[in-house]
Amino acid sequence: MESVILDWLNLVVRWTHVITGIAWIGSSFFFMWLDAHLEAPGPGKEGVEGELWMVHSGGFYEVNKFQAVPTAIPRTLHWFKWEAGFTGISGLILLAIVYYLGAEAFLIDTDVADLTRLQAVAIGVGTLVVGWFAYDGLFASRFGQQNMLIANTISVIVLCLVAVGLSQLFTGRAAYVHVGALVGIVMVINVFVRIIPAQRNLIAARNAGDEPDPTLGKRAKQRSVHNNYLTLPVVFIMISSHYPMTFGHPQGWFLLIAISISGALVRHWFNLRNASTLAIWPIPAAVVIFIAVAAWASLPTLQAERSAASAEAVSFSKVRSIVDARCIVCHAARPTYEGFDVAPKNIRFDAPAEVRKHAAAIKKTTVDTNTMPLGNVTEMTNEERQLLGGWIRAGANIELAK
């Protein structure tokens, strides 16, 4: 009962999160594009830095970008912040629904670290809170302002260490999502605490006839640049839960860092292109990193498959007993594991044909990676994983007589 309601709540919150996330990223991409395509203003346009014309859905639009805060601020001025705000709020609710209410299955893996639910949730929430204050403190400090390159380097290194650290404490998937949540939260709070206030300050100063404080503008710009480079990595992290070969890899943190770097490189290429620089190098660099890391991560699996190809066939009765012991508590028409009312993803192993049908997915989650059983709650052994692998490689035969 409870889990049925949670599933629906999960759906509506995730839906909201994706919609608001698209709106946020979409508007930020759009403004980047606008900035890059402005042309010198025509004659008679006082104070205009650039202009451009667009046509969309049968309507023609003219945009003027002003050099400074215009002398008369129009009564209706559109701000762009609620896309970010709702993405952040819905993301945190989703984090709580999936990983904190479902901590035993999704957050904690006692093979990784023997944490209680309270400890694990405290580490998760603590990472987000401490992470924001450390980041903001660094970049708000005189040191961070004066040594941007060093501060950027430090923050990237610390973020990598957070990824390594969390992977020693949580399930791979929860470690990934917490790194993504930290980055996402930093981006959202940047908008509300550093970027929007700087813009308000500009307007207030203009209204009062004062000169705006340039440090606020400079700081806001720095935070915008951070948000810009973090966008593609954070989107990768958010979709990574569909790919057990990433978060489920023994060095999943390394894949997270490397793929995020390739995302940031692609973003860098966008920025160069928007700045009308034709440099293309970030794209091949991103592709090389991505391919190298994909090859590095999958080679052992491919080798293991080849060397085990000739191993003795595993009987289905053996497989049946493993699945019954390790999977069926959740993956059955009527799961018995607490908090599961229906089989997750409708994957059920009640009948032999169903086990066979999901053989490829079983290999991905249970043999090539240890992402199933969730949090290894049923304490599956490596030997059992190898047996399942042998059975699948030999053709996933379900004839009991064999």
Q: Is 216 in the site for ligand HEC (CB under 6 A)?
A: no
Q: Which amino acid is at 190?
A: N
Report in angstroms how near the CB of residue 92 gets to ligand HEC at its nearest.
18
In 3D, which of 261, 260, 246 has the Cα closest to residue 297?
246
Interface region with ligand HEC, contact rule CB under 6 A, candidates 181-189, 204-212, 366-374, 389-397: 366-374
In terms of CB distance, is 228 or 366 closer to ligand HEC? 366
User: What sign does the CA torsion over 123, 124, 129, 131 have?
Assistant: positive
Q: Which residues contact 119 (CB under 8 A, 6 or more apart)?
A: none
In terms of CB distance, is 86 or 337 closer to ligand HEC? 337
Pairwise CA distance, residues 340 & 402, whole Å: 34
Report in angstroms how near the CB of residue 174 gets to ligand HEC at its nearest.
12
Q: Is 194 in the site for ligand HEC (CB under 6 A)?
A: no
In terms of CB distance, is 245 or 257 closer to ligand HEC? 245
Q: Is 20 in the site for ligand HEC (CB under 6 A)?
A: no
Q: Is 347 in the site for ligand HEC (CB under 6 A)?
A: yes
Site string for ligand HEC, 89-128 (x = CB under 6 A): ----------------x-----------------------
In terms of CB distance, is 70 or 344 closer to ligand HEC? 344
Q: Which amino acid is at 393?
A: R
In 3D, which of 274, 217, 223 has the Cα closest to residue 32?
274
In 3D, which of 386, 395, 360 has the Cα closest to residue 308?
386
Q: Is 326 in the site for ligand HEC (CB under 6 A)?
A: yes
Q: Which amino acid is at 338?
A: E
* Residue of 301, 378, 386, 397 that binds ligand HEC (CB under 6 A): 378
DSSP 91-139: HHHHHIIIIITTIIIII--TTT----HHHHHHHHHHHHHHHHHHHHHHH
Residue 56: what are its φ and ψ, rounded to 5°? -155, 130
Pairwise CA distance, residues 61 & 39, whole Å: 14
How large is the C-alpha radius of gyration of the chain? 26
In terms of CB distance, is 23 or 97 closer to ligand HEC? 97
- Chain residue whose CB lies nearest ligand HEC: 327
Of 35-54, which residues contact ligand HEC (CB under 6 A)? Answer: none
Residue ranges binding ligand HEC (CB under 6 A) = 105, 326-327, 329-331, 337, 344-345, 347, 358, 361-362, 365-366, 372-374, 377-378, 380
